[in-house]
Amino acid sequence: MTGVSLLTYADRLAGDLPGLARLLSHELSAFSGTHVLPFFTPFDGDDTGFDPIDHTAVDPRLGTWSDVRGIAETHEVTADLIVNHVSNRSAEFEDWLARGSASSHNGMFLTFDRVFPGRASESDITAFYRPRPGLPFTPYRAADGTRRLVWTTFMPTQVDIDVTHPAGIAYLERLADTLAAGGVGTVRLDAVGYAVKTPGTDSFMTPQTLDFVAEAAALIRARGMRVLVEVHAHHTQQQAIAPLVDLVYDFAFPPLLLHALATGRSDRLATWLGIRPSNAVTVLDTHDGIGVIDAGPARDREGMLSHDEMATVFARAADATGGHSTAASVIPAWMTLPHQINATFFSVLGGDTRRMLLARALQVFLPGEPQFYYVGLLGGLDDRELFARTGQGRDVNRHHYTPDEVRRALDTDVTRGQLALAQLRRHPVFAGAFSWDAPDVASLVLRWRSDRHEAALRVRFDDPDFDLTLDGMPVALAG
Q: Decide: 36 and 5 in contact? Cβ < 8 Å.
A: no
- Max Cα-Cα span within the chain: 75
Q: At a CB cut-off of 8 Å and minimum separation 6, what does 464 contact?
A: 261, 354, 355, 358
Q: Which of the 8 DSSP states describes residue 286?
A: B
- Kindly provide the residue ranges of all beta strands, DSSP E only, lying in 380-426, ordered along the sequence: none
Q: Decide: 329 and 338 in contact? Cβ < 8 Å.
A: yes
Measure the CA–CA gap between 156 and 135, rounded to whole angstroms. 10
Helix, strand, or coil here: 230?
A: coil
Closest C-alpha among 37, 77, 70, 38 to residue 55: 38
Q: Is 431 exposed, middle or buried (0-12, 13-18, 19+ CB in 10 A)?
A: exposed
Active site residue 230: yes
Looking at 230, 288, 294, 395, which residue is catalytic? Answer: 230
- Dihedral angle at the C-alpha atoms of 145, 151, 155, 157, nearest 10 degrees? -40
HSE, side-chain direction, 13 A CA sphere, residue 291: 22
Looking at 51, 190, 369, 382, which residue is catalytic? Answer: 190
Total Cβ atoms within 10 A of residue 470: 15
Give the DSSP per-residue string, 55-100: EEEE-TTT--HHHHHHHHTTSEEEEEEE-SEEETTSHHHHHHHHHG
Distances in whole angstroms, Cα of residue 403 to Cα of each of 14, 16, 125, 226, 378: 7, 12, 48, 33, 12
Distances in whole angstroms, Cα of residue 352 to Cα of each of 376, 377, 413, 472: 12, 13, 11, 27
Residues serving a catalytic function are 190, 230
